[in-house]
Chains A and B, each alone.
Chain A
């Protein structure tokens, strides 16, 4: 992109960032993620006018499809899942650049056809050789696809064009496998051309954590050990494992969620102010926090894992994890995990961070709660403040994105009775009810080559260093606790906080 374009002006803020000429190749295009998220996101981007003219979308899968069948599939997916209304002219623009390549991942002919397709698109659509490869494939297929891309010269950047790889979690299942994966990928793609998608980081609310902390004056002074009692980060799902038995068993909640999403949220909550909002400065601060994480000495007392048992979830009967199809009845996989960690630096010394995640919990919710200490002195007598809890700032990541502040307030009509009230900021109320989907933002960033919102190799490896000792401990000691589906997790988790004189919020 030429920087001397006279029509570009930083002061002209109506002009959106449009990606340069480029295309997106999706491997595993028949999968759920592709249908429900990626294709709709591509359409929504086009509809918002953010894709370059001639943008091309190439699907790669085993299914016997012609280009038209693929277009029909995308059409259906877009109609069903896109956020923005369907507009025929946008569709007509997109459809011209749609291609499908049939083949399996070990099929050399198929990759040769893919190469020809890309060459043809460069000619017909003017994509200029710039392609991102989105690997929406099972972790086992990663190395094969990456090697095939290398073998057929698809990863070669020639004459100023770029080739990028987009990969989804899991980024390995422990430190060693993560390192192996990184080696495999970075052997073929330069590190700055590898984009690891953690879709949480694409969410507006998560980006707003930085705005809240660093654009305001009123929060940062109390954002430290002098005022904060502890932090709770929760990601709860109400669903079970569904049809993902094959993927989930042996992985578990901690690897699936804590290692990436929750540790990233923690890093954003705890990090120091970056020197600027560019990718390097942000990554540097996040890396510092993740590097400063200290695990408690007694892992048995400060971590809990569980498995959902039979129960009722939201009015529906749910089977237990061990009774799910395709799950070994003796499985030790955790569907619930709660851990306590500390960030060992000047700002956070002694402040515990409690991270928990689970399936078949009360409801689907993700939130970060920063809970403050009680007032050091209260002029009111004990009965007046009996119902007063601790002040808290809660960042609601999903659903109902927003921020809640909890504090005490006098109950009207009483002589002096203080009770918790909450003050609420809801994104849906103050801003667009249709904020962009995380994948829209992330796909656009990939095409623009903007890596702010993507975790880097070091972050992934540091996160595994935090989780590996816990997983090892769990392997050797005991079994997951059972908790009834539809509740907020095993009693052991409540006891874990009770020992610290605290309790979990009901999110």
Chain B
């Protein structure tokens, strides 16, 4: 059932929720979390639909916060809260309240949301668009244990990733990160099957798709090797190529659904790697509510340290980053004997750094080589 409330308050909304639940005969339900969706009129429908689908897996109270744009200065000074309360069949498996905020109250959305949170249950805040630069510092974001952004929806995804890295707080997460879970698990499974070391990596995908950068950063962060980001026509991610001491491993997907996994010395295999719906991504996000350290680590690796990224800030920094405590030789200590194994993709190794290219009389074969990390000024 639906209850419309115009020019209302949080306490009236709470009363309407209780009334709605009584009317459908379920005074207490096992909702496991409160999901706060911050969005605009344009995206509210899609976001709510995804949340309702995800609620099949995670029954929740969904609060949709829509900040209305006021056209005239007079409207902006007036403050009004409208709410649409949905319970029962109209609200997935939980309850939904759509909050429309006009005028001044739209700057104080947290005051509306706070009284409507379920007791004790965790709170997840999801900005389907226009995430704040600092999610944890945002008044609404501060209410949540988990803050979900989507850098895919941003105007400049790569810049967005940098901002996320700067403002990262435990509990932040990104749907662009959830999008690559199947790729990550397939790549991990692929490395389970071979006994060799990865020497370098190339990740290819469409432009302006932050999932490609995130996957590349994760690989760089975990493997401690040079990772190059290449641009392809898409859709989404199209290929990951790991150059290893045993030969190349490639995971290639050209149509957004079926991928081919090629391992050295093994037959090519088809794997289903379909691009997923927003509701599935959201359901994955809600499955675990503890901080995602792997995401944090990958994000903090930094977009600038990837090869192949054209960015103004990148050139001077690339030569100066330090490998930290990583178990590899610092780049500047010795002339790097090995640029790349012979079979490495030409595009990745072509602009090999000056230090790496010089004086390598005893160049080892790829099999003898330790995994090498090297600076790669583009």
Contact = CB atoms under 8 A, between A and B. Distances in A.
Interface in A416-438: 425-426, 429-434
Contact of B266 (A92, A126, A433): A126
Given A53-B270, A429-B93, A7 B56 contact: no
B258 A93 contact: yes
B261 A6 contact: no
Contact of B269 (A13, A16, A125): A125
A53 B195 contact: no
B193 interface: yes
Interface in A35-59: 46-47, 49, 52-54
B328 interface: no
B271 A93 contact: yes
A430 B59 contact: yes
Nearest to B371: A6
Contact of A125 (B219, B224, B257, B267): B267
A96 B57 contact: no
A6 B189 contact: no
B3 interface: no
Nearest to B265: A126
Contact of B257 (A52, A89, A126): A89
Most buried by A among B185, B222, B292: B185
B188 interface: yes
Interface string B187-198: 111111101001
Interface string A231-273: 0000000000000000000000000000000000000000000
Given A9-B294, A429-B30, A434-B57, A14 B288 contact: yes
A492 to B, nearest CB: 39
Contacts of A87: 272, 274
Contact of A14 (B31, B181, B222, B266): B181
B29 A93 contact: no
Contact of B56 (A5, A125, A432): A432
A15 B284 CA distance: 11
A7 B222 contact: yes
A1 interface: yes
A20 B186 CA distance: 11
A430 B222 contact: no
B32 interface: yes
A496 B375 CA distance: 81
Given A14-B184, A53-B189, A429 B59 contact: yes
A20 B193 contact: yes
A14 B272 contact: no
B41 interface: no
A409 to B, nearest CB: 14
Contacts of A92: 258, 270, 272
A47 B280 CA distance: 13
B138 interface: no
A322 interface: no
A124 B274 CA distance: 23
B115 to A, nearest CB: 23
Nearest to A425: B30
Contacts of B263: 126
B288 A15 contact: no
Interface string B285-326: 000101011100000000000000000000000000000000
A502 interface: no
A429 B219 CA distance: 38
A113 B69 CA distance: 72
A14 B294 contact: yes
Given A93-B272, A434-B57, A49 B222 contact: no
Contacts of A20: 189, 192-193
Interface residues of B, number: 46
Interface in B139-187: 178, 181-182, 184-187
Contacts of A9: 222, 294
Given A1-B192, A87-B274, A430 B32 contact: yes
A124 B267 CA distance: 6
B67 interface: no
B58 interface: yes
Given A6-B198, A7-B187, A53-B186, A433 B261 contact: no
Given A15-B184, A16-B185, A53-B189, A90 B272 contact: yes
A123 interface: yes
Contacts of B185: 14-16, 18, 49
Contacts of B198: 6
B352 interface: no
Given A6-B191, A433-B93, A13 B57 contact: no
Interface string A351-392: 000000000000000000000000000000000000000000
B223 A7 contact: yes
Most buried by B among A9, A54, A92: A54
A11 interface: yes
Most buried by A among B193, B257, B261, B293: B193
A500 interface: no
Contacts of A124: 267
Given A16-B185, A432-B56, 19 more contacts: A5-B188, A5-B192, A9-B222, A13-B290, A18-B186, A46-B272, A53-B189, A53-B270, A54-B266, A54-B269, A89-B273, A90-B274, A92-B258, A92-B270, A93-B272, A96-B270, A125-B269, A126-B266, A429-B93
18 contacts: A6-B198, A7-B219, A7-B222, A14-B184, A14-B292, A15-B181, A49-B272, A53-B186, A87-B272, A90-B274, A92-B258, A93-B271, A128-B193, A426-B30, A431-B58, A432-B56, A433-B93, A434-B56
Interface of B: 29-32, 56-59, 93, 178, 181-182, 184-193, 195, 198, 219, 222-224, 257-258, 261, 263, 266-267, 269-274, 284, 288, 290, 292-294
Interface of A: 1-2, 5-9, 11-16, 18, 20-21, 46-47, 49, 52-54, 87, 89-90, 92-93, 96, 123-126, 128, 425-426, 429-434
The 9 closest A-B CB pairs, nearest first, are: A429-B30, A430-B30, A12-B294, A53-B269, A7-B188, A432-B57, A126-B266, A54-B269, A89-B272
